[in-house]
Structure 1
Amino acid sequence: MNKRPLPHPSRTHESAKKATLLIRFVVIGGGAAGLACAVALRRVGHRVIVLEKGPDFVGPSKHRGIRMPPNMTKIFNYWGMRDKVGEIGVVTERVVMSRLETAYLLGIHCWEREMLLEAGGEFIALYHSQLRLMLLETALELGAETRINAEVVEIAEDCRSIRLACGEVLEADVIVGADGSRGMCRRLVIPQDPPKGTGIMLFNSIIPADRIHADPELRTLVQQEQVSQWAWFGHDRASVCFPVGPSKDLAWYFFVRDQGAKEGWDDVLTPEQFAPYVRGSEPRLQKLARLARPALTRMMVRDFPEDWVHDTGRLVLVGSAAHPFPPGIIYGPSMSLEDASVLAKLFSHLRDEEQIPSFLYAFQNLREGRCMKNRLLDVSNIQFMMEPEGEGTARRDMMMRAKHDQDSNVAQWDHNRELFGYDAEDEADNWWVQWGLLQERAKASQWEDDKHLGLFSLDVDVRLS
């Protein structure tokens, strides 16, 4: 039986506060970031249309698994989607860490129940495609409009309308650019945007549960008393695998030093082509390689744009359009869901169209530092797992093993409080209390002064520095 996600002890599902002024959002991009924005914005009452240029909302994500950390799953709990997540995901309770070449156990990291209760969520693994379909279903239930085969070919200079390839023009009060790191919206905000290599390329595969269970040695990866993620640390290589969904298919990532792969998932290797990269690994990894048909991509990053908001104050970048994360790491999807939560919470306070630019600039101000920090952490963690043999890795392995032998998770929550305890909606509410209400009061005071003097008030640029 799959365990269900934990509710937040102090913040359970409740009806969202509705905005006083309801406006029309056009979301360009039907991936997880765009669909999450649709769910969040509909919860606070705004009108939303999501445009996906492809023929469906799944795309290439059907062959990828993702891990959702507590800061992500707590948002689903708060949105009332706890049962939906439980139906398609599997709660993982620990991480088992070993040497890639020898299977030598470096440590087992169990997530403490008390920590997860305080964080308000759990670690849950699922198919990326199932995440998108769940978000799509919820957005439609909440009244969002969605379209497929809806390619945007032009965004008006004032960012108040878009034109589709079919010739149709759609009006917008705000455009949400969720079309990814190579999409039109990002190019509009940051025209020169060359990708940069991380020095890593990634093999990604899903191996069906029946093939795992057919092998007694591989069966140990999924038949554990506690549902486990597995991590292997190796010389210029690393690997991660975890069960996805109730079927317990196995999602498998294998990282190696970059040897000139292309960006994207177009290259699919046969087991024979993949075998040289896995040679010398412990037996279970070599067995997985014989079952896999992995897709290969180069792990690239792009700079964070100086501005996530267009000069018009009517278009904002979210998800990988604003903060591109390389594939195969854990915090990219969670940052996109946090984006949606913060954006909607800010716009739940909307009373006047003049607030729109300040809310969009506040969104960037609240999100930029956290996304930058977590992307650095994500990439650094993979590099840490792939460190070449030497004195540094010997010390690393010895320290990890010593912690395992001490059977101590005492410092776990202190180390992860900032990461997993982050509450996106609290951050937006804090901004509103500290700055938004202050601006409203200042505007009201100015209006009273002008009324008394018979003057018109001036618009003020309220962009946060």
Structure 2
Amino acid sequence: MDEARTVLVIGGGAAGNTVTVLLRRAGLSVDLIEARDDWNATAGSGITLQGNALRVLRELGVWDRVEASGFGFDAVGITAPDGSVLHVAEDLRTGGDDLPATVGMQRPRLQQILMDAVRASGARVRLGSTATSLEQDADGVNVLFSDGTENRYDLVIAADGLGSTTRAAVGITEKPEPTGMAIWRVAAPRPAGVTRTDLAYGGPSYIAGYCPTSDTTLYAYVVEGNRDRTSIPPESYADEMRRLASAYGGFWPEITAHITDPAKVNYTWFEHMLVEGSWHRGRIVLVGDAAHCCPPTLAQGAALSMEDAWVLAQLLTENPSWDDALFQRYYERRIARVRPVVEASVQIGRWQLDGVRDADVPALMGRTMTMLKELP
């Protein structure tokens, strides 16, 4: 591997941070740019990381910090809207038997751990920076940045998320599409009895659930049909989520009492997308949400993004020729794994939207998670 090779990573989320650390470990020169000045350091409430995500985090060398910062568990509970526990299922350890099935974390805490790993790797990081022009030839890409500077790279990795401007700039026309559902999320103190994810199906919403994110915190969420976002003033977010959550029993009254600050409540539509055919154009290649996204019904968004980064980094560091054949191998290796997850995630929501009562959700989830136990 020629250590003089240079890579630009656009986007400092889970995929971009992961691929940056792995490529720097292999000795490549990596620049990472992130449009936000704060590097997404405070964005989001919580995140559910299943075993296949934990496997990548261990490869990054940050598993110890993730384990210490999050809350690990191996089961999921199904409850009635009144809080009565109907069933507790053991989760499959998709990352291997030596890792928990699931770790819940505060999303800003995970981002901080990944940011620290990028900094420690020696990558050059530029915040508040975007790529305004990408001009490529057979050997590399000339990049003009928003501050007027420019540089040339052997490869550009687009990790700039759902609304990827890089994806559009290279002529890939796929865009995220709404599934018909939306989710309210909030971080809150963890009641002492909450030691796993519990999901209530039914009631005034499709799903009401929560996930412990540390010894003292959790994040809670309520899933409903999507509404016109312009009809919901941000200052009413806490009132709206509290109204929906107040219909649920068990631990929900204690959680609901803390839904008071609209600035801490997030409302997001579920979306899905899968770029078909290839995830590259010349020397510009997509990873993570720039290439695919799915609703969080299987909690696999971040995991798939980090797996993309892991696989791409392996291929780049093990092969001397960075050509169309290599990038197509990356696509073919990932699409066979990503497509079933996207389709299953969308299908679970579609069954709920259509009111299908005899849908075998556990079987679909079981097949999908069993596939994810295999190495990507």
Query: TM-score surpassing 0.5?
Result: yes
Q: Is the 8 A contact 2:50 2:95 kept in 1?
A: no
Structure 1 residue 384 displacement after superposition: 5.0
User: Which among 211, 215, 218 is matched to residue 250 of structure 1?
Assistant: 218
Aligned partner of 2:209 in structure 1 is: 240
Superposed CA offset, 1:405-448 (max 9, x none): xxxxxxx98874312x2213xxxxxxxxxxxxxxxxxxxxxxxx
For residue 169 of structure 1, report the CA deviation from its aligned partner.
Answer: 0.2
* Structure 1 unaligned regions, length at least 5: 1-18, 213-218, 404-411, 425-465
Query: What corresponds to 1:422 in structure 2?
Result: 374
How big is each residue's C-alpha offset from its partner over 1:86-132, in whole Å with a ceiling of 9 and x where there is no partner? Answer: 222211221111122x333221012477x864475531111222222
- Equivalent of 2:142 in 135, 149, 161: 161
1:367 is displaced (CA, Å) by: 0.8
Contact 2:176 2:273 in 1 (8 A): yes
Give the secondary-structure state (helix, strand or coil) at the position aligned to 1:133.
helix
Q: Which structure shows the higher strand fraction?
A: 2
- 1:90 maps to which residue? 71
Higher mean alpha-carbon deviation, 129-138 vs 32-41, is at 129-138
Whether the 8 Å CA contact 1:201–1:257 is kept in 2: the answer is yes
Contact 1:38 1:144 in 2 (8 A): yes
* Higher mean displacement: 118-127 or 232-241: 118-127
Query: How does 1:443-458 map onto structure 2 within 5 Å?
Result: none
Bigger drift between 33-42 and 369-378 goes to: 369-378
| Residue 90 (structure 2) pairs with residue 110 (structure 1) | yes
Per-residue CA deviations over 1:161-211 (Å, capped at 9, x if unaligned) read 2111111002110000011121221112345445422110110100134xx
**Match in the other structure for 1:127:** 106
In structure 1, what is the equivalent of residue 60 of structure 2? 79
Q: Say yes or no: does 1:302 pair with 2:302.
A: no
Shift of residue 149, structure 1, vs aligned partner: 1.5
Question: How far does the alpha carbon of each residue in 1:28-68 deviate from its partner, in whole angstroms, 9 at most, with x for none?
Answer: 1111111111011112221111001111212552x321111
* 1:141 equivalenced with 2:120 (yes/no): yes
User: 1:233 touches 1:385 (CA, 8 Å); kept in 2?
Assistant: no
Contact 1:189 1:308 (C-alpha < 8 Å) held by counterparts: no
Q: Is the 8 A contact 1:66 1:128 kept in 2?
A: yes
CA distance in 2, matches of 1:137, 1:324: 26
Partner of 1:432: none
State the AA in 2 paired with 1:360.
Answer: F
Structure 1 partner of 2:17: 35
- CA 369–190 in structure 1, closer or farther in 2 if over 3 Å, else same: farther
Counterpart position of 2:291: 322
Deviation, 1:363, is 1.0
Give the Cα–Cα distance (whole angstroms) in 1 for the partners of residues 235 and 75 of structure 2: 30
CA 1:337–1:284 in structure 2 vs 1: closer, same or farther (change >3 Å)? same
Give me the whole-angstrom Cα distance separating, in 1, the residues matched to 2:367 and 2:293. Answer: 28
Report if aligned partners of 1:103, 1:282 keep a CA contact under 8 Å in 2.
yes
CA distance in 2 between counterparts of 1:196 and 1:254 reads 20
- Are the structure 2 counterparts of residues 252 and 234 from structure 1 closer, same or farther at C-alpha, using a change threshold of 3 Å? same
- Distance verdict in 2 for CA 1:84–1:370, change over 3 Å: same
Corresponding position: 1:230 with 2:184: no
Does the residue aligned with 2:229 lie in a helix, a strand or coil? Answer: coil
Distance 2:143 2:128 in 1: 15
2:339 aligned residue: 372
The secondary structure found in structure 2 opposite 1:45 is: coil
More helix by share: 1
Cα distance in structure 2, aligned partners of 1:358 and 1:116: 29
Can you list the C-alpha shifts for 1:352-388, whole angstroms capped at 9, x where unaligned? Answer: xx43332222111111231121122223334556774
- Greater CA drift, 367-376 or 323-332: 323-332
SS across alignment from 2:341? helix
Gaps of 5+ in 2: none
- The percent identity for this pair of structures is 20
Q: Aligned pair in 2 of structure 1 residues 121, 366: CA closer, same or farther (>3 Å)?
A: farther
In 1, Cα distance between equivalents of 2:351 and 2:6: 45
Residues 93, 386 of structure 1: CA spacing in aligned structure 2 closer, same or farther, 3 A cutoff?
farther
Query: Per the alignment, do residues 303 and 350 of structure 1 end up closer, same or farther by CA in structure 2, a change over 3 Å counting?
Result: closer
CA RMSD of aligned residues (A): 3.1
Deviation at residue 303 of structure 1 after TM alignment: 4.4
Alpha-carbon deviations, 1:213-263, whole Å to 9, x = none?
xxxxxx43x2xxxx3111111155202211113x43111111011222369
- Match for residue 158 of structure 2 among 177, 180, 183: 177
How far 1:341 sits from its partner (Å)? 0.7
- Find the aligned partners of 2:128 and 2:297 in 1 and give their Cα distance: 27
Aligned-partner SS, 2:228: coil
The 5 Å alignment of 1:345-384 reads: 345-351=314-320, 354-384=321-351
Change (3 A) 1:183 1:120: same
Aligned partners of 1:198, 1:161: CA distance in 2, in Å?
37
Structure 2 residue matching 1:167: 3-state secondary structure: coil
- Separation in 2 of the partners of 1:385 and 1:82? 35
| 1:50 counterpart = 2:35 | no
What secondary structure is seen at the aligned counterpart in 2 of 1:269?
Answer: helix
How far apart, in 1, do the equivalents of 2:346 and 2:305 lie?
17
1:253-306 CA-partner distances (Å, limit 9, x unpaired): 11011222369x994634433344345433643553342142212222234243
Report which stretch shifted further, 339-348 or 378-387. Answer: 378-387
Give secondary structure in 2 for the equivalent of 1:306: coil
| Partner Cα separation in structure 2 for residue 314 and residue 276 of structure 1 | 50
TM-score (structure 1 length as normaliser): 0.71
TM-score, length basis structure 2: 0.87
What is the number of residues matched between the two proteins?
Answer: 369
Which structure: larger Rg? 1
Give the match for residue 458 of structure 1. Answer: none
Q: Distance in 2 between matches of 1:112 and 1:322?
A: 26
Is the contact made by 1:234 and 1:385 (CA closer than 8 Å) also made in structure 2? no
